[in-house]
Amino acid sequence: MPWTWAEATGEFASYLDAERGAALRTARAYLGDLEEFRRLHAARRGQDPVPARVDIAGVRAYLAALFGKNDASSIARKLSSLRAFYRFLVKRGQVTDNPAAVVRSPKRRCALPRALTVDDTFRVVEAPAGARDRAVLEMLYGAGLRVSECCGLDLSDVDATHPARSAGAQRGGGDALVHVRHAKGGKERIVPLGGKAVAALDAYLAERRAPADQAALFVNHRGGRLTSRSVQRHLRRDAALAGAPAATPHALRHSYATHLLDGGADLRSIQELLGHASLSSTQIYTKVSLDHLMSVYDQAHPHAQGKGKGKK
């Protein structure tokens, strides 16, 4: 005999607990979404939904009711709950098809990266008093590294012509190459490192204290590899103490790409430097750069300054 909605959700709750071993919070989220579906269906049709009679049109009507009150991420999650519920009902033989499976999730808006101005970037990078933290920030901005990539660097990843690999060596800030081996997606790449970053790296390595067998470039006070969480924590602390703008390690990477684009670098080159798998991932920086350009225009162009003002 076909289950009622109450019977179906009750069985699903038992399944989540006994078979899936779902966390209480996860189970509550699933069941809360299903209750919302029931309530909106009842408001529209005057009665609770019958699981076996819910069709694609009913699922789409549900999503339509959510728009304007929920963001795309929330709607996608609610649709995912409905899909999981109907996958369970298919397994139990209560329905033959999953009506939510063919309904597409709404596209999530891709938030633009937050890029700092050049002056603010310099203030952030120069905020740390310690040589190690200054070198880390110079690497993040100077080479556009992800924080995980930076923490994953070994001494041997700085090019062989760079004398800073032997602690105490100084070279006055020439350029270098960095081999990024622990990149996203398992891809490797070679990126250049400018003079200021090299000088900061030299200063750090002159006082680096680590066991002889420690290959990590950046180490903590115990001699172990520095972690991404530590970098984020130190950046937040140092920026606050120095009165610099609040920033994240990833904001420095975004700033690196945006400033390169503002300086005339082409998208394909920036793609290679950032290690993006596709050019579409890099093209977001054209919008960031355009926003910066429009801000400059609004501040500098006489007609822009007169926008909204009536003629005399």
Q: Which of 43, 2, 34, 40 is nearest to 16 (CA)?
A: 34
Rounded to 10 degrees, the C-alpha dihedral 235/241/242/245 comes to 60
Active-site choice (83, 254, 259, 276): 276
Question: Of the listed 30, 86, 256, 285, which one is catalytic?
Answer: 285
Q: Residue 160 burial by CB count (10 A; 0-12/13-18/19+): exposed, middle or buried?
A: exposed
**CA separation for the pair 27, 13 (Å, rounded):** 7
Q: Which residues pair with 219 in a beta bridge?
A: 225
Q: Terminus-to-terminus CA distance in the chain, angstroms?
A: 80
DSSP for 153-207 reads -BGGGB-TT-GGGSTT---SS--EEEEE-S-GGG--EEEEE-HHHHHHHHHHHTT
63 phi/psi in degrees, rounded to 5: -65, -40
- Measure the CA–CA gap between 58 and 60, rounded to whole angstroms: 5
From the candidates 41, 78, 146, 162, which is the catalytic residue?
A: 146
- Enumerate residues 6+ apart whose C-beta is below 8 A from 138: 125, 196, 197, 200, 201
Strand partners, 177: 192
Contact 193, 175 (CB under 8 A): yes
Q: Is 146 a known active-site residue?
A: yes
Asked about 301 being catalytic, the answer comes back as no
Annotation marks residue 45 as catalytic:
no
User: Which residue of the set 184, 187, 236, 301 is catalytic?
Assistant: 184
253, 254, 256, 259: the catalytic one is 253
Question: How many beta carbons lie within 10 A of that of residue 235, not counting itself?
Answer: 26
Active site residue 236: no
Six-digit token string for 146 = 């992800």
So which residues are the catalytic ones? 146, 184, 250, 253, 276, 285
